Structure formats: C-alpha cells, structure tokens
Structure 1
Amino acid sequence: MRIVVDLVRCQGYAQCCFLAPQAFKLAGEEALVYHPNPDVAQRQQILRAAAACPVQAIRTDRLEDAELTHEAESA
C-alpha cells in the first residue's frame, strides 16, 4: 500500500492521526508527517483515515498497482 498526501490541501484536522496513529502524526500544530509505505496490516485503519479526511487530502494506492502504472508509463 502506498499513501500520498496533498500537503497543500491538508489543513491539519488530524482525523487521520486519530484513526491511523502508526501511519500519520502531527509535527507541531499543523505539519503532517506520514509513512508513505505502511505495513499492510494497517490497511483498514488507513482506508478509514483517508475516508475521514474533511478535505480529501489523502490518496491510497495498492503498491502493486502503483508499480504497474509506473512501469507502463516508463515503457
């Protein structure tokens, strides 16, 4: 799984931090820090966190799909 966060769109509401604390953390009051390739065991928490984002700043991809897309674009 891969996480991509639009940090310009992110407003620091921290819903993701509450729902998936192993993947998302706030540094200071508003700076989001996240793990771009979290453990697959956290998948459900991360999907819930992405769905709960009030500004829809979090996108998730299955890592296998992302790699296939990258390979297709490179060819």
Structure 2
Amino acid sequence: MKVVVDMTLCQDHGQCAIAAPEVFRMDEDSKLVFDAEPDGSLSDAVQDAIDVCPVQAIFLER
C-alpha cells in the first residue's frame, strides 16, 4: 500500500491526521507530514482519511 498526497491540493486542514493519526500528522508549522508506506493493517484508517479530506488530496496506490 502506498499513500500519495497531492500537496498542490492539500490545504493542511488536518482532518486526515484526526482520522488516521498513525499515518498523518501536522508538524510544528501546521504542515502535513505522512507515512507514504504504512503497514497494511492501517488500510481502513487510511481509507477513512481519504474519505474525510475536504479537498480530496489523498490517494491510495496498492
């Protein structure tokens, strides 16, 4: 599983960090950072993050 975030679309709302904190987080500058290759057991959490992203900037490659 590979997580891709289109950083040109991302507006750092942080909803993904709430939905899947094991994969997404906001850094000290409130910018998104994420694990591009999280453990497969986190696929449901990643899908939740994809679903809540207000600008649809998160994609999943399998």
Query: TM-score surpassing 0.5?
Result: yes
Q: How many angstroms does 1:30 deviate by? A: 3.1
Matching residue of 1:66:
none
Q: How many aligned positions are there?
A: 62
Once the two structures are aligned, what percentage of the paired residues are identical?
37
- Whose Rg is larger? 1
Shifted more, 28-37 versus 8-17: the winner is: 28-37
Counterpart residue identity of residue 24, structure 1: F
| Long gaps (5+) in structure 2 | none
Contact 1:12-1:29 within 8 A present in 2 as well:
no
Segments of 4+ moved more than 6 angstroms:
none
Q: How many angstroms does 1:28 deviate by? A: 2.5
| Long gaps (5+) in structure 1 | 63-75
Matching residue of 1:11:
11
Per the normalisation by structure 2, the TM-score is 0.93
Matching residue of 1:32:
32
